[in-house]
Structure 1
Amino acid sequence: MTLKTTKLRDAISFAIAVGTLAGSGAVFAQDSTAADQEGASELDRVTVTGSRIRRAEVETSQPIFQLNREEIQAQGLTSVGDVIQNISANGSALNSTFNNGGNGETRVSLRNLGSNRTLVLVNGRRWVGGTGLGGAVDLNTIPTAAVERIEVLKAGASSIYGSDAIAGVVNVILRTDYQGAEANAYLGAFDKGDGFRQSYDLTIGTSDDRFSAMFGAGYVKEEPVMAGDREISAEPVFGTGVSFGSSTTPFGRFALCRGTVNPISGRCSIAETRPNGTGGQFTYNPGQTGNNWRNFAIPGDLYNYAPDNYLLTPQERKSIFGRATLNLTDDVSAFIQATYNNRRSEQLLAAMPIVLGSGPGAGVQARTISISQFSIYNPFGAPVSRIQRRAVETGGRSFNQNVDTFGFSGGLEGSFERWNRYFTWDAGMVYGRNDQNDTTYGLFNILALRNALGPSEIRNGVPVCVTQPGGTVITGCVPLNLLGAPGSITPEMLNYSSFVAHDEFGYKMKQYFANLTGELFELPGGMLAFAAGVERRTESGFDQPDALISSGNTTGNARTATNGAYSLQEAYGELSIPLLKDVPFAKQLELSLSSRYSDYSNFGDTTNSAFGFKWRPIDDLMVRGNWAEGFRAPSIDELFAGVADSFPQIADPCSTTFGGGYNGLTPEQQARCHAQGVPVGGYDQGNSQIRISVGGNPNLGPETSTTKTLGMVWSPRFVPGTFDVSLDWWRIELENVITTFGGQFILDQCIEQGIQAFCNQYTRFSGGAVNNLLSSGVNIGAGNVEGWDLTMNYRLPEQSWGKLSFSWDTTYQSLAEYDNDGDGDIDADDGGSIVGEYQDRDNNWRIRSNLMTRWEKGDFGATWFTRYYSRQEEACPFNYNDYGFGELCNDATVDANGVVQPGSQNHIGATTYHDVSVYWKAPWNAKVTLGVNNVFDKQPPVSYTTFANSFDPQYEVPGQFFYIQYNQKF
């Protein structure tokens, strides 16, 4: 198409010629080989993340941080998700270090407000949500090889983009209009010889005056690191041996019932005993003379499951991507873009715990199973009513994902001139789909276990299952021996009693859009510009678990199906209002206004608006500020999720083991335990993990927010070279937050605080153990977060020794307070700000800071990337019991009465990582890069409350990581 000659074009051409610095909050205009956003015209039109208005000046009133392709590659990472997680404004989010609780996804959580409150765009368009159905985007579904740059808007933008843009926006810009060919190869591994990674990609493109096309393909493979191969993760809690191991061991933990087993609860009518008649449990002991059993002992018999887990999970990704543009006329062009990404990933956990009968945590169906006294493998003459046996013969529980992600966008874009004004438009559709198939190995079929542990006999020299002694043979059934040493479960037994689970997930998004932008009339500061548009979007998702999992007939977590959808229609408008220009104390004064109306099929409508200003009192200084309303619509998972099992670590206040605090309760609190059926003196919880149920709530409404920012950008011309610094204050206030209270919180609020509403959410068995506990979301929470962003960029004048530049990006968080007691507001009872506290497995760093130093001279260059995480404190989990390993927590605190409480906190030290790379540009148009990440082998700080590990997954896996990259242009 032909761009009309206007002042706007001249200004854009000038901006392209002189360039701008990303650190000032600006976005670089790109040349013919760089990416432009999907909504923009092809010729010299600039659209900035956070605005739909195409403008000449790329600085807006909102703070924007950018990483270009060279800066991305200089980090030596193979996943765009890992790059984004390194951004200083990111908090805690899923990545490949999440093994227990992960699903292969990598997400981003700006301001630590949750990945579902950060909007992810690709080329300025909403990207399809992950198959977790929580609305959050899996960054690993974006082809890494296709990425040109990443822009991060550190402010709310619901008035521009709609739902989810509460904490900010991550806009991943893909490569377009590439001319030529380029190939890249990458190899890397840890100094321990594990975690090998390889990546290869190829991009080719061509263009002329009418047609341009680009195609690329990429392949990435990341191999695992085992937890047992790093000291910090080789035991359940670092420094405690097996003290926090599992009581479900490869040798088993059992008890006999000399009375009658309840067919519903699995409980014995009298106290369970060992084979010698004493009360308690026993375990298999092959060294025992005579009967191969002895008393089960804690902690000596606890099982160290940690070495059997992945510490860093493996992935394999294959991708193709392409874009084509055809000029239909001088003023209209058609575009089409398509991406495909396949991810295969795995998580590996220790072998399946078979917990049946009165075993703690047994599911509804599992409770009804005991080992029959007529089993050929039961030598005790009485039913085994408590069964805990780790089936190491399976080789572990392997969770495998195969995810196909399709992305498509296409449409028309053009320009026209009316009333001596220039306008551009675009219209089209976006389609995204995630199809996921999960395969899980190492699970057991409850129905098969019931048969295999029931009566059995030897007939014709072959062990068979029978309906009753002397009864009918159960066809195909193989009797199961859980009472022997590891290896007693034979392959034939496994073939009958275990099963392979096949689950299916899907998420689909379809969006139609039409946008118009241009200039309306002249104001004292310039032309008033506008953007307006309409959108219609539908989203749907499903989770279809394996039939056995859905029925609950499995030793793993049971869950029922999820299926739901919603649609919405939206309209938005945006104005850029230049009030003053080139007058005293106002080289520029510009206002921005925007508003979006959204009508949802499931909860109704909402309108969200924003206001911003940009003021330049002098050429070198810009002051900017914003006020914005935001919202987040409830996700399909939050609305429609079926009921599922969860096994979180819980310290029941009524228990005397596994961190339970019965002995520390007041008489009034203990009385609440007794009223629920807990025996006087408390009870043995039996396992640190307790089964609870979680599910969706179709009556949820949207979360709402208000974002405020105020900042400045200073670019002093008297400093040699190019220097700029931006400082922005931000505050986000959330209301109607969808909150799902965890099992620990529910129990604590009931027993310790006496709030009956939480007591109504669960029941107990007669012995005191928690029975049914249901947790689902409600619109009741609130939160306030506040802080500062500082970004400095300095490019020194070129010297004889080369060119040197610095980019320093820092986030300082001053406030993070939330409604912790469930009353819907934030007050003194909620405990105040948690900045600097590691809480609920979330990092609340006061400071995250990144410094990138780059040197270049001729064909050589080097990058030094420094990442800093400030210190945190966490509550010590060892208050109630002396486990015999000494005092691990040694940070004292002072309680409300002024009494010093020694060892009541654990100090998580400040951590700094250094990544170094050097490159050489070869004469044959190639570039070779060598790098070491974590060059000083910094160990992650120990945390004692992190789930399933002893350090938080946001810190680096221990070890130096060496890599080599090769780039060849043709």
Structure 2
Amino acid sequence: MKMKRNPISNAVYKALLTGFVASSALGTAALAQQDTDDDQSVEEQGKITVTGSRIKRSDVEGALPVTVITREQLELSGESNAADYIRNLTFNSSGSYRPQSGNAAQGESNVSLRGLGSSRTLVLVDGRRLPKSPTTGSSQNLSVIPMGAIERIEVLTDGASAVYGSDAIGGVINIITRTDFQGAEIMLGGYEVSIPNKGGEREEGSILFGTSSDTTNVLAGVSWNDREIVFGRDYPWVSQGASVYGNSFTTFNPVSIDDLNWTTLACDFPGTGFFTVPNSNSLTGERCAYDFNLTAANDASTENKSFYARAKHQVNDNWSVWANTTFTQAESFGRYAPVPDSNSPYADGSGVLMPADSPNNPTNPNSPIYDPNLGLSPQGIWWWHRFDALGNRDTTHKTQMLDMEIGTTGQIGVAEVEFGVRTTDNRTDDIGKNYLLRSVADALIADGSYLLYDPYSTPQDVLNQMKITIFRNTKYDQDEYFGSVAFDMFELADGPGQFFIGAEYREEKYLDQYDPQSESGMVGGSAGNSAGGNRDVTSVFFETLLPVYDGFEISLAGRYDDYSDFGDNFSPKASFRWQPIDNLTLRASYGQGFRAPTLDVLTQKTSFSAAFLRDERTCVNQGQPADCEVQVTAYIQSNPDLMPEESDQYTFGFAYEPLDWMNFTLDYWNIEIDNRIKYFGVPTIVSAQENGDPLPAGLGCERAPNGSVSVCYAGYGNEGFIESSGIDFNMRVNYDLFGGTMSSNLQVSHLLDQSVDGGRDLVESPGTPANRAVLQNLFGYGDWSFAYNINYIGSQDEDAVSEAVGSWTTHDVQLNYHTPWNGKITLGANNVGEKYPPIGQGFLDGQDYDYNLYNGFGRVTYLRYTQTF
């Protein structure tokens, strides 16, 4: 049930937080009944905190399915950045977004565990949540994670809202940074790609320093990687584009995009992207098209630079203070073809006919392009034009994130306590050049200052009047205060019961500000509108570990989150672990989770959209066929009444070590997400109204007296559910071979089913393979080592709009030599067989291949040198 709470000042929340943790710590100390001198510290017991739990333990295999990826595995993968490695995890079932040129999120990279969406996967850094991307407002950007800072990656393939709160529905990825390093290390690397005949080259590097004394540890480093832009024309599979936005006109409103009688205005511009193509509906039998692939880039360039530092000082035997800071700058450059635009309602719903007396109107007898053979009397026309004379649309996307954290850890009696504060400034700026100011362009075209039939003769001052540089400033800042207490409660059959209790207070500040012209819909070639708002979240959580009897333990966890903007939520979880024999661990868990509605959806400003619709009454009243496709005016608006999504999930499986040199795990998972946050578009709204189905408040379509749809109000609401299940298998072997050592790791993720609102099973549909697998092999002999990895993505069946996709297997190799002077030389190649992605198959989404699952770089050859001092 949704609950609204009365506003309470930040100062009160912080006081409650501090008092809660302090009272818990003192109460725990008072309950202690044993001699503290006999207690061992956590470090002495060799315990660590594993993702999915706040309680420190020494067990290798716990009750939850956690996959640990070591730094050695990261280096053996041949990837130059953390984002690409994480995206290639087998758990990233349907793939996920990576930097693409010209997209509003062109510098972003994210992960979508189980194919449930990036907003349902929580990314942590050292156990604390990575702030959401300012660009999306709903997902986290992996591009800001420095590769050189990573010690290991822990992947929890189970829901964890009971521990971490919102978003941890599909699973959790925890990036553990390096903490213990002595000396200095320098790494430099370079990469070449084989398929684009130019572009795509990469560089990487890192520098790390570490020192320590009896009481103090300090570590600092820098990490960088970059990739050159790749243009569509440089891929062998990219064909000539033939955009309808070339240089044509029509005299009537279209029924559908295929029925337009586009007739060429002018197209003979040598050395440009304009060219004529046949068009049976045209008055002259042809239209003017434009090849956007000549200038548009497919893959944006990326440059990522990071500085990170960690320090810890032991004040005395019981207390230590620590501080962490990271500064990351990620920049990308993308290029789109010049602005396509039109004065027609087909373009944006608000067009105005070109006057009949315009010099650009071919029906005007006084126009230089008047053609009496068209048989048209003087009349207004609709034009479709590519503003090539303005130049390409170039977009620079720059993100800066400064993250600082300071805290203290100590002992009060038998209790371990921790207090800390964290602040994150997370900003992104977008600058777009050579966009079109529509109102000015309409006027200059109407009076002939800009000639559609001779655009390149337009004086520069006229072009400058039409040009506009757009901007977008975004931020997603966080301030956090946290504290916790951990202690042993009482003795059970197999040891003491452990208890953890903590609290957090987090302030989130979100802003997505577009320039005024873009906000008002006056910019051609751009879309979107501003949003912004703040929220605070107060959380209290607990966890207990109960070793009930020999080899059997129960863990119970729960978390209460109170949001200032929509209400509260409680998430419980129970997990079980049983070792019937020393080398076999059985485990299971059940939990409930949630995903809070994101600030971008709750606070977005209303924006205009010309929505496509097939509606019989609207078509007939416009004198068109009953099954026509029309555009109607729509306004996309926020929904401040959104409720959180809720999930139920369970897992069970086992870990088995039959031999000293072999172990494997097998886990089944099942998840159902209810109260789904989904977008209600115009066709969905009209269908719901026709069938009498309920709609979220404020959403709906209005009809004119004659029955035609006149205006619609679209947006997000809560409705429906998602169901999914699958199996994960992992096997590791280590043995001696030919005088050296051999190790192999096989990871397989298999989707059993996935459906939305009880519909068809989506597994093996385009974009959703049933299987993903990675086999990693490493052979070491003296100073040499050789790695061989196999990457597998399963097949997908065809549907009405896509061809079937066969399975896709690539092979990676790497050779390492450890020099006598503490250096390491690495030579490797990913996709050594230069396998192409499946072109024209699967989930295309306007691309030549599925950008989420595959890449088009062919063989990636790299050389890396590492020197340790």
Bin for the TM-score computed over the shorter chain: 0.7 to 0.9
Residue matched to 1:72: 74
**C-alpha deviation, 1:857, in angstroms:** 0.9
Which secondary structure state, in structure 2, belongs to the residue aligned with residue 908 of structure 1? coil
Q: Secondary structure at the match of 1:284?
A: coil
1:361 alignment partner in structure 2? 347
2:501 is equivalent to residue 512 of structure 1? no
Counterpart mapping for 1:86-105 below 5 A: 86-90=88-92, 91-97=94-100, 100=103, 102-105=105-108
Deviations 1:626-657 (A, max 9, x none): 00110011111121112345689x6x557xxx
CA distance in 1, matches of 2:120, 2:430: 26
Q: What is the match of residue 622 of structure 2?
A: 677
Q: SS where residue 641 of structure 2 aligns?
A: coil
SS in 2 for 1:368: coil
Aligned-partner Cα distance in 1 for 2:138–2:410: 33
CA distance in 1, matches of 2:829, 2:198: 14
Q: Which of 439, 445, 462 pairs up with 1:453?
A: 445
Give the match for residue 526 of structure 1. 495
Distance 1:871 1:799, change over 3 A: closer
8 Å contact kept, 1:538–1:566: yes
Instruction: Tell me which residue corresponds to 1:330.
Output: 317
From the superposition, tell whether residues 226 and 754 of structure 1 become closer, same or farther in structure 2 (CA, over 3 Å). farther
Inter-partner Cα distance in structure 1 for 2:729 and 2:816: 29
| SS of equivalent residue, structure 1 residue 72 | helix
In the alignment, which of 793, 797, 804 is matched to residue 732 of structure 2? 793
2:825 is matched with 928
Query: 1:808 and 2:805 equivalent?
Result: no
* CA spacing shift, 1:298–1:817, aligned 2, 3 Å: farther
- On the 8 A contact 1:116/1:134 being kept in 2, the answer is no
Could you say which residue in structure 2 is the equivalent of 1:834? 762
Deviation at 1:361, TM superposition (A): 1.7
Please point out which of 807, 815, 819 is paired with 1:910: 807
- Counterpart-to-counterpart distance in 1, 2:284 and 2:189: 51
Provide the C-alpha distance between the structure 2 equivalents of 1:324 and 1:676, rounded to a whole number of angstroms.
72
More off after superposition, 127-136 vs 928-937: 127-136
Letter of the 2:624 partner, please give it.
P
What is the deviation of 1:178?
A: 2.0
Distance 1:425 1:298 in 2: 79
Q: Which residue number in structure 2 is paired with residue 741 of structure 1?
A: 680
Q: Which of 869, 873, 877 in structure 1 is aligned with 2:793?
A: 869
Supply the distance in 2 between the matched residues of 1:621 and 1:523 (Cα, whole angstroms): 22
Q: 2:245 aligns with which of 239, 243, 248?
A: 248
Alignment of 1:385-784 (within 5 A): 385-417=381-413, 422-455=414-447, 479-484=449-454, 487-581=456-550, 588-644=551-607, 653=614, 671-672=616-617, 674-675=619-620, 677=622, 679-680=624-625, 683=628, 693-716=635-658, 719=659, 721-742=660-681, 761=700, 774-784=713-723
Whether 1:124 and 2:127 are equivalent positions in the alignment is: yes
- How far off is 1:216 after superposition? 0.8
2:744 is the counterpart of 1:818: no
CA distance, structure 1, for counterparts of residue 292 and residue 190 of structure 2? 31
Distance, in Å, in 2 between the alignment partners of 1:931 and 1:314 is 23
* Residues 1:448 and 1:210: Cα distance change in structure 2 (over 3 Å): same
User: Contact 2:262–2:287 (CA<8 Å) still a contact in 1?
Assistant: no
2:614 and 2:628 in contact (8 A); partners too: no
**Residue 854 (structure 1) aligns with:** 778
**306-315 vs 187-196, greater mean Cα deviation:** 306-315
Kept in 2, the 8 Å contact 1:807–1:853? The answer is yes
1:948 pairs, out of 846, 855, 862, with 846
- Counting matched residue pairs gives 804
Residue 347 of structure 1: aligned partner? 334
Distance of 1:790 and 1:637 partners within structure 2: 37
Tell me, yes or no, if the aligned pair for 1:133 and 1:635 is still in contact at 8 Å. no
1:516/1:247 CA distance change after superposition, 3 Å: same
**Structure 1 residues 811 and 450 mapped into 2: Cα distance closer, same or farther (>3 Å)?**
same
Deviations 1:36-56 (A, max 9, x none): xxxxxxxx4411111111122
1:210-260 CA deviation, whole Å, 9 max, x = no partner? 11111111222111222222233335xxxxxx5xx42111xx112359xxx
AA matched with 1:907: A
CA distance in 2, matches of 1:765, 1:488: 46
Looking at structure 1, the residues matched to 821 and 284 of structure 2 have their Cα atoms a distance apart, in angstroms, of 69
In 2, the alpha carbon distance for the partners of 1:481 and 1:765 equals 39
Q: Which residue is 2:16 aligned to? A: none
CA offsets 1:106-134 (integer angstroms, 9 cap, x no match): 00110111111111100011111101243
- Structure 2-normalised TM-score? 0.86
Contact 1:369 1:450 in 2 (8 A): no
- 2:210 paired residue number: 205
Kept after mapping to 1: 8 A contact 2:266/2:288: no
Aligned-partner residue type, residue 810 of structure 1: V
**Correspondence for 1:60 among 55, 59, 62:** 62
Distance 2:668 2:409 in 1: 37
**Kept after mapping to 1: 8 A contact 2:339/2:393:** yes
**How far did residue 97 of structure 1 move?**
4.4
Q: How does 1:214-363 map to 2 (within 5 A)?
A: 214-235=219-240, 245-249=242-246, 252-255=247-250, 281-286=263-268, 295=282, 301-356=288-343, 358=344, 360-363=346-349
- Per-residue deviation at 1:7? 7.1
What amino acid maps onto 2:66 in structure 1? I
Tell me: CA distance 1:78–1:452, structure 2 relative to 1, closer, same or farther (3 Å).
Answer: same
Indicate which of 354, 357, 363 corresponds to 1:370: 354
1:166 is aligned to: 169
Q: Percent identity?
A: 28
CA distance in structure 2 between the aligned counterparts of 1:747 and 1:761, rounded to whole angstroms: 7
- C-alpha contact 2:105 2:135 (8 A) present in aligned 1: no
Q: Residue 496 of structure 1: SS of its match in structure 2?
A: helix
Return the alpha-carbon distance in structure 2 between the equivalents of residues 98 and 287 of structure 1. Answer: 26
SS at match of 1:335: strand
Deviation at 1:958, TM superposition (A): 4.4
1:520-568 Cα distance to aligned partner (Å, 9 max, x none) = 2211011111111011111120111011111222113344321111112
Counterpart Cα distance in 2 of 1:196 and 1:768:
58
Residue 353 (structure 1) shift: 0.5
Cα separation, partners in 2 of 1:46 and 1:736, compared to 1, 3 Å: same
Which deviates further from its counterpart, 66-75 or 590-599? 66-75
| 1:937 paired to 2:834 | yes
Letter in 2 for 1:87: L
RMSD after superposition: 3.2
Match in the other structure for 2:816 = 919
Task: Return closer, same or farther for 1:945/1:808 CA change in 2, 3 Å cut-off.
Answer: closer
* Alignment-mate amino acid for residue 631 of structure 1: F
Residue ranges of structure 1 left out of the alignment (5+ in a row): 15-43, 236-241, 258-266, 269-277, 457-478, 582-587, 655-670, 820-825, 878-904
Secondary structure (helix, strand or coil) at the match of 2:538 reads: strand
The one-letter code matched in structure 2 to 1:714 is Y
Question: Alignment partner of 1:96: what SS?
Answer: coil
Query: Secondary structure of the residue that 2:98 maps to in structure 1?
Result: coil
Aligned to 1:503, the other structure's residue is in SS state strand
1:59 deviates by 2.6
Asked if 1:157 corresponds to 2:150, the answer is no
Residue 518 of structure 2 aligns with an amino acid whose one-letter code is I
Whether contact under 8 Å (1:104, 1:401) holds in the other structure is: yes
